[in-house]
Amino acid sequence: MTDTASAVPAPIDPTETAAWRALDQHQDALTGSLREWFEADPQRAATLTHEAGDLHVDLSKNLITAETVDLLLDLAREVGLEERRDAMLAGAHINTSEDRAVLHTALRRPAGIEPALVVDGQDVDADVHEVLGRVRAFAQSVRSGAWTGVTGKRIETVVNIGIGGSDLGPVMVYEALKPYADAGSGSDAAAPLEARFISNIDPTDAYETTKDLDPETTLVIVASKTFTTLETITNARLVRTWLLDALRAQGVEFDEAEAVAKHFVAVSTALDKVADFGIDPKNAFGFWNWVGGRYSVDSAIGTVLAVVLGPDVFEELLAGFRTMDEHFATAPLAENVPVLMGMLNIWNVNFLEAETHAVLPYSQYLHRFPAYLQQLTMESNGKSVRWDGSLVSYDTGEVFWGEPGTNGQHAFYQLLHQGTRIIPADFIAFATPARPLRDGEQDVHELFLANFFAQSKALAFGKTREEVEAEGTTGALVPARMFSGDRPSTSIMAPALTPSVLGQLIALYEHITFVQGTVWGINSFDQWGVELGKQLASALAPAVAGDEAAIAAQDASTAELIRYYRAHRARD
C-alpha cells in the first residue's frame, strides 16, 4: 500500500463519452414494455438477478434490456470507475476539496491483514483496531456492571447525543437490530439495555428523551469529532444540567466532577474540549478526518451500539460491511451489484428523467433506513460542481425518501402506481421475520410478504383496459382503474435481518453512492452546502435575542419574521 497520496485525475464529462451518446440513441430506439420483455425472454429474471453476500438482488423489473446494461457498464469504464474505486480503497486523496483520503472501508478491514494499509505515513489498520479495542473494552465494562454510575448502580440506559451522521447511523442501526439488545453479563435484570438519542437543538428533544430516566442508571455519549458542533454541545450541556439536578432531586450526595466523569463519555478527538466539559479524556474514543460523518456508523460513532447490542454484534455488523466491500472491490462489473445499481440510477436520473427514488423496506425494524439514506445519498451527491471546480451540465442526485411497508401503501403508493412521474423504487424484505406471529391459521409474515411481492408486480405489469373491463367495470371508471405498468423497481431480499445483513445493506448503498458520484464527476465526500445556513444562524443570534441594530441589518423578510417571533414569544 502507498503512504503518499496520488494525484487525482480530472473528472471526465460523462456527456462527452461515446457510451453516453450510445445510451442516448439506445433510449430513443428502445421499444416494448416489461410485459413484452418478460414474455419474450423467459430467462430475464434469472439474467438480471444477482447475489452479493447474503443479498439477492432482482433488477429485472427495471426499464432496461441486456443492451442497456452493457452500455451503462461501458460508461462506467469510460469515466474510470474501476480506477477511482481502487484509488479510494488505497487511500488516495479523492476528497479533493478537503485534500483527504476517503477510507470508511478501512473501518471494517480485519485485523492482521497483510500488507497493512498505510496512508500519509499512518498505519491505518493499527489505528482503527486500537480504537475498536478500546470501544470493545468499554462496552464490556458497562455490560458486565464493572462501570457504574456515581451511586454504584448499573447502567440501564445509554443516551447518545449527536447530529447528522453521529445520530442517523446509530439510531437506524439500533432500531434495526433491537432484537439483539440484551442486559449484558453479570446481571439478573430481565430488561435489555436501552438506547435513546438526542439530535435536534429543539429543547423538547432533550426534555422528552430524559424526562422519565433515572439519572443514577443513565450513561451519556457525546458524539462530536471537534466537540464544537452547536447542536450536540448545547444538548450535552442541557443533559448534564438535567442529570446533576435530577440526582440532587433524588437526595443523592455526590461530587459534581465525579458524577460527570461517571455518567458522560465522548466520541471525539478534541481531548482538551472533552476535558473542559468534565469528561475524562481516557473515556474519549476518536476517529479520523478521512471518515465523513455519514460514513461513520462503523467507527467509534457506533460506541452506543457496542454497549447496548454488545461488541460481538457490532463485530458482526462490521463483518457484513466487509463482505460488501470485498464484492465491490473484486466482482466483475457485470456481476458487481453496487456498480449495477449505481449505473441503473444513472439511467433513471439522466436518461429517464427520474427526480426521486423511493426506498421501501418491508420490515418495521428498518423504519429509519430511508432517513439514513437521505443523508448518505443527498449530502453526498447533491452537488452542482465537479471535483475540479467546474460546473456540471447535467442532472445529479436524487431525492431519496420512503416508509416501511405496508404503511406506505396506504399513504403514497397511489403516486407510484398512477402518478405522472417515474419514481424508481427499491423494495427490501427478509425471508425469516425476527418476531414471527400467527393470526389464527395465517402466518402474518407471509401475509406481509404477499404485499411485498404484489406491489413490485403491480408497478411492473400494471392492469390493462381489457383486464379492467373483464371484471365488469365500464364507462369513465375504466381509466381510473387502469394501471400503466412499466414503473421501475428493484427487489432486494435476504434470509433475515441480521447484523451482517444490515452491514451489507449499508455498504451496498455507500458504494452505489460512490458509483453515481464518479459518473457525475463530483466529490461525494464533502458537504459545503450545509455550511452557509449554520454560519447565518450564528450571525443571526443577536438579532433573535433582540438587538435592534442586528434586526435592522437583515433583509425585510427575515427582519419581520424575527419581530413576529419576539412579539409572540411567551416567557415565564
Question: Distances from the Cα of 287 to the Cαs of 135, 157, 283, 506, in angstroms?
Answer: 12, 24, 13, 19
- The residue from 39, 51, 534, 560 that is catalytic is 534
Instruction: Give the strand pairing for 264-267 and 425-432.
Output: unpaired
Angle at CA of residue 199, ends 195 and 201, nearest 5°:
140
- The residue from 355, 410, 446, 548 that is catalytic is 410
3-state secondary structure at position 360: strand
- Could you tell me if 263 and 149 are in contact, meaning their C-beta atoms sit under 8 angstroms apart? yes
- Annotated active-site residue 194? The verdict is no
Which helix (H) or strand (E) element contains residue 51?
A: strand 49-52
- Kindly report the backbone phi and psi dihedral angles of residue 277, in degrees, each rounded to the nearest multiple of 5, phi listed first: -70, -25
- The residue from 156, 231, 316, 379 that is catalytic is 379
- Could you tell me if 80 and 518 are in contact, meaning their C-beta atoms sit under 8 angstroms apart? yes
Instruction: Give the strand pairing for 157-161 and 218-223.
Output: parallel
Distance CA 550, CA 429 (A): 53
3-state secondary structure at position 357: strand
Distance CA 94, CA 499 (A): 30
Residue given cell 447511523 in the structure block:
169
Q: Dihedral, CA atoms, 253, 254, 259, 262, nearest 10 degrees?
A: -90
Q: If you ran DSSP here, which 8-state letter would residue 37 be given? A: H
- Kindly report the backbone phi and psi dihedral angles of residue 237, in degrees, each rounded to the nearest multiple of 5, phi listed first: -65, -40
Q: Is the link from the previous residue into 192 a cis peptide, with omega within 30 of 0?
A: no
Distance CA 25, CA 29 (A): 6
- Could you tell me if 329 and 338 are in contact, meaning their C-beta atoms sit under 8 angstroms apart? no
3-state secondary structure at position 67: helix
Q: What does the H/E/C string look like for 219-277?
A: EEEEECCCCCCHHHHHHHHHHHHHHHHHHHHCCCCCCHHHHHHHHEEEECCCHHHHHHH
Distance CA 62, CA 305 (A): 36
Side-chain half-sphere exposure of 420, counting CA atoms within 13 A: 0
Rounded CA Rg of the chain:
26
Q: Which three cell numbers stand for residue 113?
A: 491483514
Distance CA 340, CA 27 (A): 18
Distance CA 185, CA 99 (A): 44
Distance CA 119, CA 217 (A): 41
Residue given cell 421501501 in the structure block:
360
- Annotated active-site residue 410? The verdict is yes
438 CB-contact burial (10 Å; exposed 0-12 / middle 13-18 / buried 19+): exposed
- Strand locations in 449-520 (E): 489-496
- Annotated active-site residue 441? The verdict is no
List, by residue number, the catalytic residues.
379, 410, 534
